[in-house]
Amino acid sequence: MNNNYIANRSKGKMKSDILKIGAMAKADKALGNHVIDATIGVFLNDDKSINTVPAVIDNLNNNVTKNVGYAPITGYPAFKEGLLKWYLKDQYEKRINEYYIPFGATLGGTGALSIAFNIFLDPSQVVLLPSIMWGNYKLIAKKAGLKHDTYQLFNSEGNFNITNLCTKIEEYSGSQSNILIVLNDPCQNPTGYSLSDEEHLRLIKKLNKLSEKVNITVIYDIAYLDYDGNNKQVHRIFNNLFNNEIKFLPVFAASCSKVFGMYGFRVGAIFTFVKDEELASNITSAIESQIRGTYSSPNGPALSCLGNALLGEDIDKLSNEIYTNTLTLKVRTTYFIDKLNEANIKHLPYKSGFFVCLPCSDAYDICEKLKEQHTYLIPIADDIVRIAVCSLNISEIDELVMVLKEVM
């Protein structure tokens, strides 16, 4: 006996555990120290309370105990309708008549990604991830039995590296009949980068060409979508896809945590738009099978409440509340970027979103030195530090920049 009860596929530790570092910050604060905690990707108000959407909270308060039974495998129809109407706005009727829309309610955006990794590739195949990424992608891939490779996120001009991504697709098209790509856009975690329309349209054109030789699925991780631009309009990412011929499969991994403030309720969705009925049926069956074989059914009460809120009479109020939140975050991140520039502290290309990244010589060493000053950031690679600006108020930003200038 060797007392080794853990299967090989479940072994391994994450080099940088965001939740663990966040817990260290909380423990430090509990000792009475003044702490700057920019670890967890949660949008906090200036008073450090969680930023929520009152219209959603009201619906939860009034209805969360009214529907505590098991939800359907892929969620309630009202949730699907409400979420698609939220994303598609005045295009909703047009798009549901043009496309079949396979859809599944999931346990957060993580659940949507996990399902996608399991249904679009076979074990031991390679999923293409961005070189700078949310580290959980690699863990999700591992648990799905996949290998991963990375495409360079930025080119030498600091723009999205379409050329390198296409090179990677061509490299694997000879050994895989299906190619799976993760594109965390807009408001990429952790850089805050968003593709421009011109970049996205060029990417679509390139992917269409490559799709003549191999099946390509692009997972658009849109967890932060509403923090990019005006949430009252259909986001350009949908318009760019709908207004052009698409020869690859676009799949959307949505999260209701960041925008609707439902972090702990674990609500998300996976969906796509296809014109082939058989393909739509096969994708739906695959989603149902994955859900049934993992968590059985999604969070019924939360789905029911959010569906009610998105289809209710207060939708304009809800939309205005979210728009106000996006403006608050924009003011905060713009201030932070300006302060970094004033201090001559370099940052990776940033457009919008929760996070900003700083390139450095030794991220782990820098983060350890910052802990000595009760400041907690996340080393996401050997040479990159991630800062969750979403969780900082203006005074903390001023303090953080001063500490960074001293340590870096």
Least confident of 10-24, 136-150, 248-262: 10-24
Written as one letter, the residue type at 319 is S
Name the H helices within 7-53: 18-30
**SS3 of residue 239 by DSSP:** helix
Give the confidence band of 1 by pLDDT, cuts at 50, 70, 90: low
Question: What digits encode the pLDDT tens for the residues 50-81?
Answer: 999 999 999 899 888 888 889 999 999 999 99
Residue 82, SS3 per DSSP:
helix
Parallel, antiparallel, or unpaired: how do β-strands 249-255 and 268-272 relate?
antiparallel
Instruction: Tell me what percent of the residues of the chain surpass a pLDDT of 70.
Output: 98
Is the CB of residue 367 less than 8 Å from the CB of residue 18? no
Instruction: Check residue 64 and give its pLDDT.
Output: 87
The confidence score (pLDDT) of residue 17 equals 73
Q: Per-residue pLDDT averaged across 124-133, rounded?
A: 98
Q: How many angstroms separate the CA atoms of 201 and 197, rounded?
A: 6
The reported pTM is 0.94
pLDDT of residue 30: 93
- pLDDT tens across 178-196, in order? 999 999 999 999 999 999 9
Torsion of Cα atoms, 108 then 112 then 114 then 117, to 10° = -160
pLDDT averaged over every residue in the chain = 94
| Backbone φ and ψ of 149, nearest 5° | -135, 165
Identify the weakest region by mean pLDDT among 8-17, 138-147, 307-316, 354-363.
8-17
pLDDT band at 215; cut points 50, 70, 90: very high
Of the pLDDT bands very low, low, confident and very high (cuts 50, 70, 90), residue 337 is: very high
- With residues binned 3-state (H G I as helix, E B as strand, rest as coil), the percentages for the chain, rounded to 5, are 45, 15, 40
Dist CA 93 CA 5 (whole Å):
53
DSSP-based three-state secondary structure for 178: strand
Whole-number pLDDT of residue 252: 98
Q: Is 32 left (phi over 0), alpha (psi -120 to 50) or beta?
A: left
Q: Is 39 exposed, middle or buried (0-12, 13-18, 19+ CB in 10 A)?
A: buried
pLDDT beyond 60 at 109: yes
Q: What is the pLDDT of residue 408?
A: 84
pLDDT band at 365 (very low <50, low <70, confident <90, very high): very high
CA distance 200 to 303: 32
Report d(CA 281, CA 284) in Å as an integer: 5
DSSP 3-state of 211: coil
Q: Closest Cα partner for 254 from 87, 400, 69, 385? A: 87
The two three-digit tokens of residue 186, written as one number: 């807009």
